[in-house]
Structures are given as C-alpha cells and as structure tokens.
Structure 1
Amino acid sequence: MSRGKHLGRLLFVFSMIALLMAGCEEPAKSVLDPQGSTGEEQLTLIKISIYIMAFVFAVVMVIFIYVLIRYRQKPGDDSIPEQVEGSTKLELLWTVIPIILLAILAVPTVATTFSLAEKPSEEEEALTVKVTAHQYWWEFEYEDYGFKTAQELHIPKDKKVYLKLTSRDVIHSFWVPALGGKTDLNPGQTNTMTIDAKKVGTYEGRCAELCGAGHALMNFEVVVDEEQKFDQWVAQRQEPSSQPQTAAQERGEEVFSQNCMSCHAIDGAELERKGNKAPNLTGFGERDKIAGVLENNDENLEKWLKHPDKVKPGSYMPSFDFLNEKDMKSLKAYLQSLE
C-alpha cells in the first residue's frame, strides 16, 4: 500500500470519528441549541463568524479555480503569465478587505460581551449568585437569600441571573453550553455575566479551563424550575431538615462530627457546622450527583467516601476507608437523609 493511500484511509477514519463525536452531544448541552437569551445572542455571533468564513472560503476557492483553469499550462505554450508582485492595488485590496471583515465581527462581539457582563437593571429584579470555583468543585452563594449550596445552581425560569465569578485557587472557567459562553474565574478577581433560561430542565455545566488532574470531572448542574417551585426550594434551603430521624442516622451524625465537620458545613444541623473548605452538604440527599460526576446512590457514595482520589484525581477529599462497616453505613444514612 502506498503512503498516500495509507494517509487517505487515516484521514477518512479520523473524519468519521469526528463526525460521530459531533453527533453525541445532546441538544440541551449544545451551544447550537441555546435555551436562554444569553445563549441566543452568542449563537448570533457564531453565525456571523461562520458566514464571514464561508464568504472568504468561497471567494478564495473561486479565485483558485479560475487561476487554475485560466493559467494552466497548454501544450506548446511556454509563456509566463503577467507578474503582479508589488502591485499596490492588490496589496491594498487584500489588506483592507480583512480589516473590514474583522470590524464586522468585532463590533457586535465587543458590544455583546460588555452587555452580558453588565448588571441587570433594578426593574428586571435579577437574582444575584456568587460563584466560587475550587479544585474541583463549585460553590454557589445566594446573596439575596443568605445561604450557600454546592454543585447545583438552582435558578427560576425566565428570570435574569447575575453571576459574580471568582476562584479560590487557580484559574477556572464557568461554562453552561446551552445557557451561555465561557467566562474565566480568576483568584482575587471578580468577573460577571448574566444568564437566563427559557425552559425548565437540568443543564450540564463544566470547567472549561485546564485546572489540574481533576479538570475533566469538575462538572456541575444548573437546575431550572418554574418560579413557584424555585421559591419552595429557597424556603427549604433556608429551613433545611438536617436532624437525624433514626438510630443509624444519629450514629452517622456522630461519625460526621468526628471526621467531616472541620471541612463541610450543614445548615440546620443541631451541631454548629462552620466548615467552608469543602462543599456545603445541606440537601445532599436530594442532589442528582455525588462530586458532580457519580449518580447519587449508596453504592457510589461509599465508593466516593472510600476512594475519592480514584473518582476525581487530585481531589483534596481525604479517604474514609478506615471506617468500619457499621459506621460507613450510618454515615451514608445520615448524608442521604439531608434535605
């Protein structure tokens, strides 16, 4: 087999793989199917850039084909086509045209970028949430209501949400493909963006900046509810049910206080929880995911507690594989009871 044929087959295989991967993304996770006004504005910018690139490609291909045919070598014709090197007109042409095309793209891009970073007006009654990124989890502080959550950002449908983005350690990037583009979170600095959602549902978010070994697993969810249901969720977070109801849960609370309370906080618990080094576990039993990546069930919870670094490499969560079977079962029962 010649090298050319071998290379051609490799290109074909890679093309098919890329095509299949492109089709794996669900609509609710795609920037091409926005579910909010921010995503729609950014999709417009994507379309403008595609149209410009398509126009440039078409013009180049037309010129290329014309030159290929018009100046192809003919039998018996040894003449050399007219040389245009140093042509002032042509050099001005292919300098001015790109500038014009870049201006067409730059003006709406800059305007949209600044617009989405502005705080909504008081008339819009936007919800303000402070987002703090950690290696490798997300903290959401609802400044309007006075509580914090982790890993799940709950917002009401059809309402502007003003996000204040910062980082506790390294540079991260907040990205919910269906709701808005990427915005960096830098230590000691606060960036802002506004998002909203027009459809009820759960949207996947992730860190879009390489931030360490657990970067690919630094996921979170944006849960969008009707405003009435969101208000109910807020009321529940403000008065959470964190008291153990069974003997196993009571023992689990003891295990938690002995091993976990220095890092984790639980609002509404009988014992004061001030840990803020790790995710707030209030309402843990109602979350869809453990550590943002595992389905929330007893088996995965034990897997996470025993071997967190195997689930999410680089995580600062210590291993609790030293707990005996009874204490592990009690701790799981307590955590799953948190509402």
Structure 2
Amino acid sequence: MAGEEERVPNAEEPVLQAAQRRASERFRKHNPPTFNGMGDPMDAEKWIRSLERIFDFMDLTDKERLTCAIFQLTDEADYLWESVQRTLSPQQWEEYTWDNFKAELYEKYIPQSYRIKKEAQFWNLRQENKSVTEYDRLFVQLSRYAPHLVDTEEKRSEKFRRGLRHEIGMPLASQGILTYAQSLSRARDIEAMMPEEMKAPIQAPDNKRENNKRKRVWQGIDQQKQQNQQEGPNTPQQVPFCQNCHKNHFGVCKAGSDACYKCGEKGHFARQCPGTPLGGPQHQNQNQGRNRGKRPLQMARAYALNQQHTAQATEDLEGLTEEDI
C-alpha cells in the first residue's frame, strides 16, 4: 500500500530465529523460574538474578537472553510486556536489548524509592548480634544498591571491617590492608576462637516490652477499680474516702459543723437529739450517769441535817426541869 514503509526481508532472520529457538529449548532444561509481576520487589530481583546465572552458564547472546526471559513471563508481567512490545517499531525491536528489558522491569517492579531505602540500609549496616556469616550474607545482598561504596577492593574491605563488632574488627585493623576475602576469613577465625558467651552480644532490655508490661499492670488496676465501683458501696473495701475529714464513711460529712451527728439537723447535739427515745438505752445511760454523781451528795446532806436536829433537841432537853416536864 502506498504511504506505508515496506519491510525488507532479512536473509539472516531464519537462521537467527532457529538459533534462538534452540537456545530457548536448552534454557528450559535448567528449570528456570517464572515471574508473574506480583509480590515484593525482592522477588523481581531474585528472578532476574536467577535467569542471569543460567544465561552466564550457557553463554547466551543478548537476543537469546531476551527471548528466553520473555518466555518465562506470566500473568501481569506478561501483560506488561505485551503493552511494551506494541509500542516498539520493527527498527526499535531490532535494537532492543536485555538491558532495555531489565530497565523496564526495574521501573515497574523495583521502584527508585525501594532502591534508595536499601542503599540507606547498606550504609548503616552493622554486625550487631549477627554472626559473621549472617553479616556477610546481608552485606553482599545490600551492596548491589550502593555499588559506588564498594567499587574497589579496598573500599569493599574497609566497609565490611567497619561494620564488624568491636572485638572482631579491632584485631583486623591491626593486620594492615586486607582484601575482602581475607577480612571475611580472618573475621570468621576470630569469631570461632571467642568464648560462646561472647559470640552474640548481650541484648539490652526491650524498653517496649517493659512499657507494655507496665501498661498491662495499670490497666488491671483500672479494671479492678471499675469492677469495685459497679459492685456498690456495700462491701467494706468500697467505703468512700471523704476529702473533708480524710476518713472513710458514707453519707454527708458533718465534721467541723454544729450539726447533730445523728440526724444532721442544726441547733442541738447528738446527746440532745429529739430523735433518740427517752426510754431508750442511751437516755437511760445518760440519766444513770447524772444520778450516779448526785446520789452520794444528797445522802451526805440528809445525814448532816439529821445530826444538826439531834444536837438541838439535846440542848433543849437539858434546860428543862422535872417540873417543866
């Protein structure tokens, strides 16, 4: 059709396609993993690294790598590749490489924010309570996100040594310049010679755990208080505390007032309370208390009067004669 660019057939295409097909068949014999585009960004990285190990072992060309990798895409990742492939012209597809494919995957499944976070983790990486082997494994994994920090053997060895625990790193520093492999080997030797109790540092108490324990204690106290309030003031433990007299009692506090302690009315005291029956035990006890002090005094007065009358009668009799009688 006029106006459309006609594609010139390439005589080498059948040969290249046959070679790629044979490479793909050999590639699948290694049971390569598939990738569906879902999960953690680390899954995408693991998938790419697994493929590249097989590619390096098979010594595949760039186009053969691209063909084999596309064959392992499934689900969402396969849909992504179809959308990318539709935007490529024949000329762009001819120039498309394995590195272009990885860049597309990184842009979609391994975002820049994730790589920055991993780079910060590598920058702050320390051995702490990990063994030397565990520290080295994490060191290798995270170093991919900060290649500028380990782009020479000297920088790599120095970064590794500075992250070791003090009791392991200090002996290494005294041995001069070492390669990364030498630093790792001697660090393992030093760790193996350490006592068992020193191989893992004593961890500081978990402040968060302690705070949670204290929080549970206070919550238990609050729950007990709420339960006691719901049970009511009938139990001795629930007698309310008075802020006026600083004692536990029920009802209105009458301390410091001139009100009667029995009825609460003003104008009289409890001993004069009209609410107390006159014949009651309390009234009788009060009368007995008053009479108990007055009765001896009345008896003494009666005895004195009797003595005075007797003396007067004797004097009168002595002044009389027999005629007066």
TM-score (normalizing by structure 1): 0.23
Higher gyration radius (CA): 2
Q: What TM-score, normalized by structure 2, do the two folds share?
A: 0.24
The structure richer in helix per residue is: 2
Q: Which has the higher strand share?
A: 1
